[in-house]
Amino acid sequence: MFGLSELAILLIVVIVLVGIRKLPGLARSAGTSLRILKSEARAMKRDGAEAEPRAVYEVKPTPPESGPDRPL
C-alpha 12/C-alpha 28 separation (Å) is 18
Residue 42 lies in a domain: yes
Q: Which domain holds residue 17?
A: 13-47
Number of domains present in the structure of the chain:
1
What is the pTM assigned to this prediction?
A: 0.43
Q: Are 26 and 18 in contact (CB under 8 A)?
A: yes
pLDDT at residue 55, as a whole number: 63
pLDDT tens figures, 15-59: 888 787 887 888 899 999 999 999 999 988 888 755 555 566 677
Residue 1 lies in a domain: no
pLDDT tens figures, 61-71: 776 666 566 55
Residue 53 lies in a domain: no
